[in-house]
Structure 1
Amino acid sequence: MPSRREADDAERGANADADSRANADADSGDPAGESADPAALARAYYDAIDAGEYERLASLLDPEFVQRRGDRTFEGRDRFVAFMRDGRPNTDTTHAVDRVYPSGPGVAVCGRLRDADGDVLFAFVDVFETEAGRLTSLETYGAGSSDG
């Protein structure tokens, strides 16, 4: 039976094709991949954050994007991206996606935020809404800290 890290690595490899398609969409004038399904958008969101690719992250978000979480709300894509780039206490993290639940124009994701050593910082559930191939809102629920 593979370890959790091996399973996460295998999942990342399986998502490489989806990431390539998302990057191709960005290069073709369709930055958010309008044809992308909500699950692919959510995975691209985590990949962009984990890689520190903040321009790519911005391309996935609607200009009026809103994130709500227990300790704060970010209104607007620019404010959210600025926080992810400059305001997080720990940017050397990885989102391990455990489950994805697509539902209509949105998607819910269960996962864990890991530090650089692979230790779990906290578990989360993110609920995304999408429109026209972009993420429009995110409700984040976490067990433990919400710094990621």
Structure 2
Amino acid sequence: MSEENLGPHSIPLQRWIECAPFEELLGMEIVNADQGQATLTMPFRREFANGGSVMHGGALVSLADTAAVMALKSCVPPATHFGTTDMSVRFLRPLIQGIVTAHAQVEQGQERQWLARVDLQNENNETVVEVSAVFKISRRKLTTVAEEA
């Protein structure tokens, strides 16, 4: 696999999604993740629409959160554990078709905090959702379900 297809910690980008069943279910794809920035895409799917044929907000927020996580993973050492501690979402316009693209950027805040900003855009490059989030790095190693198996 070529160097440009590698993500944080030199793991092939698509492997990150393969390890995350929910993100795979939503059809997310990682375009890039490097130096505190990440771009992901997700297709509009009828089964993820609400009653008004608009993409469900929960699916869009999941894409934004995953994009922010990938941007953060590109900045921290392997096996670093962290969690989302705060998230603010502004829905600007409905997504009714096509591919939505998430552009995420993170920067280190105070102590163990990282700040993220994510814009979701439709195929016309119009921003449909703006997200800001705060992540906190864990002081201790956490055991994951995969590590327990």
TM above 0.5, yes or no, is no
Q: TM-score, normalised by structure 2?
A: 0.33
* Pair member with larger Rg: 2
Normalising by the residue count of structure 1, what TM-score does the alignment of the two structures yield? 0.33
